[in-house]
Amino acid sequence: MTTSDPDLHSPDLHSSAPTLADLTTLRLGGPVGRYLETTSADDLAAAVREADASGEPVLVLGGGSNVVVHDDGFPGLVVRDVRSGITVEAADTCGGASILVPAGTPWVDVVDRAVSEGWVGIEALAGIPGSAGATPVQNVGAYGQEVAGVVSTVRVWDRGELRIRTFSVVDLDFGYRSSVLKRSLRGPDGTPSSFAPTPRHVVLDVGFQLRLGTLSAPVGYTELARRLGVEVGGRAPLDEVRATVLGLRAGKGMVLDPADHDTWSAGSFFTNPVVEASLADALPDGAPRFEVRSARPERTTGPSLGAVDPTLVKTSAAWLIEHAGFGKGFGLPGTVGLSTKHSLALTHRGGGTTAELLALARTVRDGVRDTFGIDLEPEPVLVGCSL
C-alpha cells in the first residue's frame, strides 16, 4: 500500500490526503477521513477487510466518474486501486482474445488496446471515464454495446464471506445498468445496505473474452450507424467506430476536458427509465421507445440480446427532461446547471456545492414526474446524500 500520488487519468490530485472534490469528475465533495492507495489485489482486499473489521466505513473509488459525495465528505477509508495493465491469457482465431485486467486500470486504456490489437466488442465504449473494475458493477454500456457481452469472469473480495471469489458471467446476473454486484448496495426494502457505499463484492480484476477481427461488432445504435454510413446491424472498422464514438461523446460533453465545465459531471445523471408498456403508450407522440430484453447475453461481442419483454418499454431520460421544460443549459448561469451540450448531464461550473447539484437534480426529477408520471432514478452512487 502507498499514500503517494497516483498516476492520474482525471482529475488532478494535489496531495496524499485529497478531498473528494480532488478525486471525482464532478469536483465536488468534502474531506476524506483516511486515504489509501493499493498496488496489489491482496493489499486492496486487506485494506477493506481491516476497515470492515474495525467498523470503519469504506469507499472504494475508481476514476470518480460515477459518484456524488456529500459536502461534508466521507468519514471513513477512501481506497483507490492504482494498478494498471492488461494480461493477454490467449489470443487465437479459435477462441478469440482472453484478457485479465486489474480493477484500477483506466477503462479508456482497455478500449484503446482492444482496438489496436483487433479485439472486437468494446469499441463503442470508447471515451467512458473510470476504471475497468467499475464496468461490470453497473454493466456499463453506450452506443449499442455493454460489457455484459464481453465479461467472462470477475474476481472479487467478498466482504460478507471474507474470502476471494470468482464470478462467471452467469453469476453476475447482468441487467440494464445493473448487476448482482451493484444490487448489493441495497437491502430488500430498497434502503442502503450495510455494505454501502461500496458493494459487498469489491472487484479485484476482470476477465474479458473478445472476438478477433478488423470490423466491429454489429452496430446497434441508430445515430452511430448513421455517422458510420452503415445500416443498423452492419459493421465498420474498429478504429472508425472508436473515433466516431469519441466524436459523438465529445459533442455531448462526455469526454473529460478540464477546461470544459460541461464535462465536470458524473456523466448521465439519470438512467433511461424502463416502464410498463401502458405508461409508455400514454407518452406524447415522438417519445422514444426501445425494446426491453432479458439480461443474459446471447453472444460475446455486443449487448444483451435475450428475449423481448412485451410488457415493458425503455424510454429516453433526456427526452423526458427536455420535454418537461428542462433544456440544455437549464439553471445557468450559476454554479451548477444542465450541460449546454446534453440535458442528461448535471454539471458543476466551479465554486458550487453538492447540495446545489442535488437541488437541481430534485427539480428535474420532480418536473418529469409531474409532467409524465415517471420517476427518474439517479445513475451515480450517492455517498452520504440522497435525492
Helical ranges in the chain per DSSP H: 20-23, 41-54, 107-117, 180-183, 222-228, 238-251, 277-281, 317-323, 354-372
SS3 207: strand
35 has which bridge partners? 78
Write the burial class of residue 241 (CB in 10 Å: 0-12 exposed, 13-18 middle, 19+ buried): buried
Known catalytic residues? 177, 268, 379
Single-letter amino acid code for the residue at 229: G
- The sign of the CA dihedral 82, 97, 167, 219 is positive
Question: From CA 28, how far away is CA 46, in angstroms rounded?
Answer: 28
Q: How far is CA 84 from the centre of its chain?
A: 18
Terminal alpha carbon distance of the chain: 35
Element housing 120 (H / E): strand 119-120
Question: From CA 146, how far away is CA 139, in angstroms rounded?
Answer: 6
